Chain A
């Protein structure tokens, strides 16, 4: 009989065959799985800054500005319309807020609800934000509106991607 700790022929064959078989199966499946999970591991794309409006047109009152950006979606490229709420705050600094509600993604409007003037109002579940985009506590959104990356060049306002604060 085999001594203690000695590997029997049957065990040895079992281990080798399982090992080799597992290695082969992994070699087959690994590329496929990596292929499938690629979207998760891909880096986000940068977005070019696009001119939106003249700086001189910006008022204290938020204005909704629409602009087109090139969107690359895998093999499909298209121009999509985005919009921003643009205004100058008390310190005369330009603010460009994304209109996408931080609750579930509806589009917010400025001062559209008579009960809440001078606030951003979301019609979907009554989410509200103050003028600086900060969510009003007690309403559904849990974060302030995203702010657009921006720059001013030759009197024009350029916007990039909206970023969470």
Chain B
């Protein structure tokens, strides 16, 4: 049945080359853990991507209940965690995934660093990778404020106080991030927008570039 539907579409649109191009490629022996178990270090990039997918999905579902407003934010988080079925799990996925994605990304970076995989001709991909790292940290920072509890509030105060120490533009940077003089209603709305629209958009674009470059250049050779 599935095969027949596929054939029907393929006959008209010739989709086989499309997915072949994406999915069908050789995995060199030195990155295959079945040959050398130590090759598991090549998994960290993929694991980072896998967790990013979980983060995007669980985040999308969380916004069904969450409201970015200082009166209701905490209440809505409390409600979705305690009153909605599987709320603990969905929020837990997003909460733990946020930490895990940093860990995986860090391990991936270490592997690339110690194998010297960033060297010519792959310097550009290293740069994109570092940008992804910063975007992830930004996602972590903005997401931390959203539950609007004491921990969130003071973590953000500290974070913005660090921004003030930037020479010359420090104060401006803080006001821009906070959306006003204090950390309050405007900060929450702003951080929410940054967390769910701007940074994920940047992240998807950068990850696209990251993957295209890998396909173009191939995985770096064995040590």
Asked if A36 is at the interface of the complex by the 8 Å CB criterion, the answer is yes
Interchain CB contact (< 8 A) of B90 among A32, A41, A75, A76 = A32
Residues B71-117 near A (CB distance < 8 A): 72, 75-76, 78-80, 83-87, 89-90, 93
Whether A60 is near chain B, meaning CB under 8 Å from some CB there, is no
Number of interface residues of B (CB under 8 A): 20
Q: Does B65 sit at the interface, judged by CB under 8 A?
A: yes
Given known pairs A74-B79, A75-B75, the reply for A35 and B61 (CB within 8 Å) is yes
Interface of A is mostly: helix
Q: For A74, list chain B residues within 8 Å (CB).
A: 65, 76, 79, 83
Q: List residues of chain B with CB within 8 A of the CB of A75.
A: 72, 75-76, 78-79
Residue B54 at the chain A interface, CB threshold 8 Å: yes
The complex places the Cα of A35 from the Cα of B85 at a distance, in Å, of 5
Measured as residues with beta carbon below 8 angstroms from the partner, the interface class of chain A is: 10 to 19
- Beta-carbon contact of A35 and B75 below 8 Å: no
Task: Let me know if A38 is at the binding interface, CB within 8 A.
Answer: yes
Q: Indicate if A114 sits at the interface (CB-CB under 8 A).
A: no
Q: Say yes or no for A31: interface residue by CB 8 A criterion.
A: yes
A41 contact set on B, CB distance < 8 A? 85
User: Does any Cβ of A come within 8 Å of B58's Cβ?
Assistant: yes
Cross-chain contact A32 with B58 (CB below 8 angstroms): yes
Q: Within the complex, which residue of A28, A29, A34, A76 is in contact with B85, where a contact is CB–CB below 8 Å?
A: A34
- Cβ–Cβ < 8 Å partners of B79 in chain A: 74-75
Nearest first, the 7 closest Cβ-Cβ pairs linking A and B are A75-B75, A75-B79, A31-B86, A31-B89, A35-B86, A32-B61, A35-B90
Known: A31-B89, A34-B86, A36-B61. 15 other contacts (CB 8 A): A28-B54, A28-B93, A29-B57, A31-B90, A32-B61, A32-B86, A35-B61, A35-B80, A35-B85, A35-B86, A35-B87, A35-B89, A36-B64, A38-B84, A75-B75
